[in-house]
Structure 1
Amino acid sequence: MRKPKLKYALLALVLCTSALSLHAQNDGIPVTSMSRLRNVAGDTAQFNQQSKLQYDQMLNEAHKKDAVATERNPQLIRLRAIAKRLIPYAARWNPDAAKWDWQVNLLKSDTVNAFCMPGGRIAFYNGILVKLNLTDDEVAMVMGHEIAHALREHAREQAGKNAVTNVGARILGALGSAYFGVDPRVGDAAAGVVAKGAALSYSRGDESEADLVGMDLAARAGFDPRAGIALWQKMGQVNQRQPIGFLSTHPTSKDRIQNMQDHMHLVLPVYARAKGLDPNKLPAYHSIALPRS
């Protein structure tokens, strides 16, 4: 009589474990479909191969200038350890990521920037680590954000959007030239302005999505998503001292902080579960002040 009971108990345990696993996949930031405009830019494998060639060329040029951190560099070791925790959760957002040849490199430059190219090729500039005095949680937010661009294929999507926008804008320019008798060269110039403005708005939308996907990746890996708020507060302070070029195409620090705060209730429970903590009793997040200028 005991065997059937044991059988049912084991079945209940399996069902419970499966339910918990499914919940772990479905909580956090919801996974949405990627834009079909990615397909306008061509095949994914070919696009990733081109990105690999660009990344390798960039590294070769940097090596010639002795601008690539060595394998023993403490900051590079730190970056790779953080990446090792984030990468296992990448496939939730893009199943192809499980097959990517992930790389992490550190460039010796004062530039405040980082990026992840299609196919999982990550690079950090030393300036973003030093000038912002980033904690591991904040590094994870930066890295998660950049990885998100690759996972959501924003570069390929942007290429598709630009192709469609440029064609559409030039058609409008040609129609305007013909209808109003405007010099075609003026029409082309106006079309270029329209295309540039549209690309800028697309970029900001991609940045906002990358913030949320990055928060989700970081939380699942056990990094505090509230670090994203501290990160962009620091970024705003540094930008006031010396404007950061790439921020001109990004949402303002205030806007992205608000975006993160609006979705924080979705990722804090994920972070708490990863750390084995009560989501209702999380300790406050503590950042590190910016270095004195």
Structure 2
Amino acid sequence: MKIKKIALVVSLSVFTSVAAAKDAQVVVQDGIEVKPIPGYYKLASKEKIDHEASLQYAGMLQKAEQAGALVPDDHPQVRRLRAIAARMMPYASRWNPDAAQWKWEVNLFNSKQVNAFCMPGGRIGFFSGILTTLKLTDDEVAAIMGHEVAHALREHSRGQMLKSTGTSVLARLAGAGASAWFGIDPRVTDTIAQYGSQAASLKFSRDDERESDLIGLDLAARAGFDPRAGIVLWKKMASLNKGQPPAWMSTHPGGKERIAIMNQHMNVLLPLYARAKGTTPARLPPYRGAPAAAR
């Protein structure tokens, strides 16, 4: 009887040890999963794209300054944008090691456009309209900045160029094949092929947007900005974009889809934000953003 008891205790001990070892091997995902940049992107010259972006950005600054549309460095909103960027950019190299060497630039253009961008190499631009029309909090600015920066970090412009070229060539070949096989006027099949190519490019763009949404919120959360601001932000954007074409006809996913995807990833985004704030997700207060201005 004693032998059976000893065997039972030993068995339980072994089982507990194995279970503990397995638990020790479980790694909780640290934010949004980092995926490698597709290898085929190397087919497009990174140096050429960066050089062209540099020239284009410099030209924009020059023209804006000449037109009196470049907001000066000492303006409170410029300082605000640069302060937000300074908090976020130290985390950028997680998504692209080259970003550690980028010379980040942040400028504000005096325009009613509700828009922002980030060119390859870390050249960021905001239009004043997006700040005033949407009444953006710092958290919401961080969500937008993170989204635009993510496009540059993941080299979406380089990938999009290659994808667009590739789908166009394949579509034309498919059109030529259909023309020869079915005896259809080549001009007709070529037109159909081009529509197919454009639709494929739109999908690629929507995929890039989804990725940038999540990476942008990851960057913001690590820097201590509330990722739930992304949800409030896209609700504001949706209220401004009524009457836009359906999501499947756009380069951007629909607002409801974006919000749903963000909500699905809050389980990994909120811990990043809580950690930056020195607390736990359960202790975080609810997020409340200012409503968008009426148009």
TM value normalised by structure 1? 0.87
User: Among residues 206, 209, 217, which one is paired with 1:207 in the alignment?
Assistant: 209
User: Among residues 172, 175, 178, which one is paired with 1:173 in the alignment?
Assistant: 175
- The whole-number CA distance in structure 2 between the counterparts of 1:68 and 1:140 is 21
Which amino acid in structure 1 is aligned with residue 211 of structure 2?
Answer: E
Structural mapping, 1:99-138, within 5 Å: 99-138=101-140
What residue in structure 1 maps to residue 288 of structure 2? Answer: 286
Which amino acid in structure 2 is aligned with residue 161 of structure 1?
Answer: K
- The whole-number CA distance in structure 2 between the counterparts of 1:137 and 1:123 is 17
- The whole-number CA distance in structure 2 between the counterparts of 1:272 and 1:157 is 34
Gaps of 5+ in 1: 1-22
2:36 is the counterpart of 1:33: yes
What residue in structure 2 maps to residue 67 of structure 1? Answer: 69
Which amino acid in structure 1 is aligned with residue 66 of structure 2?
Answer: K
Contact in 1 for aligned 2:160/2:205 (Cα 8 Å) = yes
SS at match of 2:289: coil
SS at match of 2:132: helix
Q: Alpha-carbon deviation of 1:179?
A: 1.6
- The whole-number CA distance in structure 1 between the counterparts of 2:68 and 2:181 is 57
Contact in 1 for aligned 2:32/2:215 (Cα 8 Å) = yes
What residue in structure 2 maps to residue 18 of structure 1? Answer: none
Structural mapping, 1:199-278, within 5 Å: 199-240=201-242, 248-278=250-280
- The whole-number CA distance in structure 2 between the counterparts of 1:63 and 1:38 is 35
- The whole-number CA distance in structure 2 between the counterparts of 1:195 and 1:60 is 36
Which amino acid in structure 2 is aligned with residue 258 of structure 1?
Answer: A
Which amino acid in structure 2 is aligned with residue 95 of structure 1?
Answer: P
Cα RMSD of the aligned pairs, angstroms, is: 2.0
Identity of aligned residues (%): 52
- Higher mean Cα deviation, 130-139 or 53-62? 53-62
What residue in structure 2 maps to residue 193 of structure 1? Answer: 195
Q: Alpha-carbon deviation of 1:181?
A: 2.1
Q: Deviations over 1:54-77 (max 9, x none)?
A: 211222222222111111121111
Q: Alpha-carbon deviation of 1:292?
A: 3.3
Change (3 A) 1:132 1:243: farther
Which amino acid in structure 2 is aligned with residue 224 of structure 1?
Answer: D
Contact in 2 for aligned 1:37/1:161 (Cα 8 Å) = no
Structure 1 residue ranges (4+ consecutive) displaced by more than 3 angstroms after TM superposition: none
Which amino acid in structure 2 is aligned with residue 187 of structure 1?
Answer: T
Aligned length: 268
Contact in 1 for aligned 2:133/2:294 (Cα 8 Å) = no
SS at match of 2:241: helix
Contact in 2 for aligned 1:38/1:159 (Cα 8 Å) = no
Q: Alpha-carbon deviation of 1:243?
A: 5.3
Which amino acid in structure 2 is aligned with residue 122 of structure 1?
Answer: I
SS at match of 1:122: strand
TM value normalised by structure 2? 0.86
Contact in 2 for aligned 1:93/1:151 (Cα 8 Å) = yes
What residue in structure 2 maps to residue 6 of structure 1? Answer: none
- The whole-number CA distance in structure 2 between the counterparts of 1:37 and 1:141 is 29
Question: Of the two, which has the highest radius of gyration?
Answer: 2
- The whole-number CA distance in structure 2 between the counterparts of 1:39 and 1:179 is 36
What residue in structure 2 maps to residue 144 of structure 1? Answer: 146
Q: Deviations over 1:111-148 (max 9, x none)?
A: 11111011100001111111100000000000000000
What residue in structure 2 maps to residue 50 of structure 1? Answer: 52
Q: Alpha-carbon deviation of 1:219?
A: 0.4
